[in-house]
Chain A
Amino acid sequence: MKDGYYSIEQVFRIKAWDFASAGEASSQIKKILKQLGIDPALTRRVTIAAYEAEMNLIIHSVGGEMRLKVTPQSIIVTAEDRGPGIPDIALAMQEGYSTAPEIARELGFGAGMGLPNIKRCADRLNIQSSVGKGTLLEMYFDIKAG
Chain B
Amino acid sequence: MKVSQMVDALSLKVLAGERFLDREAESGYCCDLLSRVMAKGKKGMAWITVQTHMNIVAVAALVEMACVIIPEGIEVDRKVLDKAEEEGIIVLSSDLTAFELAGKLYQMGITPVCEAVD
User: Which residues of A approach B to under 8 Å, CB–CB?
Assistant: 19-20, 22-24, 26-27, 30, 41, 44-45, 47-48, 51-52, 55, 107-109, 111-114, 117, 120-121
The one of B32, B33, B54, B117 in contact with A20, judged by C-beta atoms closer than 8 angstroms, is: B54
Question: Min CB distance, A8 to chain B, in Å?
Answer: 20
Contact A113 B54 (CB under 8 A): no
Knowing A22-B55, A45-B117 are in contact, say whether A27-B35 is a contact too (CB < 8 A). Answer: no
Contact A47 B34 (CB under 8 A): no
Knowing A107-B53, A108-B51, A121-B117 are in contact, say whether A26-B58 is a contact too (CB < 8 A). Answer: yes
Collect the chain B residues with CB atoms within 8 Å of residue A111's CB: 33-36
Mask: chain B, 49-62; 1 = CB below 8 Å from A; 0 = not: 10101110111011
Contact A117 B54 (CB under 8 A): no
Interface residues on B, range: 20 to 34
Task: Give A61 to B55 CA distance when docked, in angstroms.
Answer: 18
Contact A23 B35 (CB under 8 A): no
Contact A45 B118 (CB under 8 A): yes
Contact A23 B33 (CB under 8 A): no
Contact A19 B55 (CB under 8 A): yes
Knowing A41-B118, A47-B62 are in contact, say whether A117-B55 is a contact too (CB < 8 A). Answer: no
Contact A22 B58 (CB under 8 A): yes
The one of A30, A41, A112 in contact with B62, judged by C-beta atoms closer than 8 angstroms, is: A30
Further pairs besides A23-B61, A27-B58: 20, Cβ < 8 Å: A22-B54, A22-B58, A23-B55, A23-B57, A24-B58, A27-B62, A44-B43, A44-B118, A45-B118, A48-B62, A52-B35, A55-B34, A107-B34, A108-B51, A109-B55, A113-B35, A113-B39, A117-B35, A117-B39, A120-B117
Contact A113 B62 (CB under 8 A): no
Contact A109 B58 (CB under 8 A): no
